[in-house]
Amino acid sequence: MIIKSLVVGPLEVNCYIIGDEETKKAMIVDPGDEPDRIIDLIKEDNLTPVYIFCTHAHFDHVGAVPELKEDTGAKILLHRDEKEIYEAARDMAAFWGYDIPPLPEPDVFVKEGDTVEVGKLNFKVLHTPGHSPGGICLYGNGIVITGDTLFAGSVGRTDFHGGDLNKLKESFKRLLTLPEDTEVLPGHGPKSTIGIEKRENFFIEEFG
């Protein structure tokens, strides 16, 4: 498995490129900004993107979706509960003083339990609301991509539109039931593992 990550945009989102070495098929996760840099990384390994996976639709995670869709034709995957946030992403960006191009319609609404196939690699979709209503994680092949649900040492904010602290607690607890050696690839900041987060994440205190 090829895993590449790059930090993009003013809010420093981790964009991931997950590729299957055998078939050279790939998935781009959270292309928030800087499409040219993302494309360069894809070309480096001669990868063919089949999916653009959005862990959620805050503008800092979807800003480069339009260019990448146009360049690669890859299918845009989003959770249905995130549609409203996706459609409002441009306005949210403008509110924060940023300009992103109009977003193309998502191609596929994924849901809890769905399998995303990237060449010969399979990943499971986990619906993890809390930071945003349609927040999703991708789990498989020893990694979990957690978007803004789980970070190294912390969790995402719940004070944005559609955020819900109780749901975030449920999503967090659920992620911690994954095997301890699962590598956590979050939407911002450094990598971690489920085992480390079980011991060190401040959010644990919320549960007494």
Residues in contact with Zn ion by the rule CB under 5 A: 58, 60, 148, 187
Identify which of residues 119 and 146 has a Cβ nearer to Zn ion in the complex: 146
Select 33 or 148, whichever has its Cβ closest to Zn ion: 148
Nearer to Zn ion, 20 or 33 (CB): 33
Q: How far is the CB of 16 from Zn ion (least distance, A)?
A: 13
We find the least distance from the C-beta atom of residue 48 to Zn ion, in angstroms, to be 27
**Minimal distance in Å, beta carbon 180 to Zn ion?**
25
The two three-digit tokens of residue 131, written as one number: 């930071």
Nearest distance in Å: CB 62, Zn ion = 10
DSSP state of 101: P
What string of DSSP letters covers 13-38? EEEEEEE-TTT-EEEEE---S-HHHH
| Backbone angles phi and psi of 186, in degrees to 5 | -85, 170
Q: Which is nearer to Zn ion, 97 or 208 (CB)?
A: 97
Looking at beta carbons only, is 20 or 60 nearer to Zn ion? 60
User: What is the helix, strand, coil percentage profile of the chain, to 5?
Assistant: 30, 30, 40
Strand, coil or helix: what is 54?
coil
**What does the alpha-carbon distance between residue 108 and residue 114 come to, in Å, rounded to a whole number?**
11
Q: Can you tell me the distance from the alpha carbon of 103 to that of 159, in angstroms, rounded to the nearest whole number?
A: 24
Q: Provide the minimum distance between the beta carbon of 86 and Zn ion in the complex, in angstroms, as a whole number.
A: 12
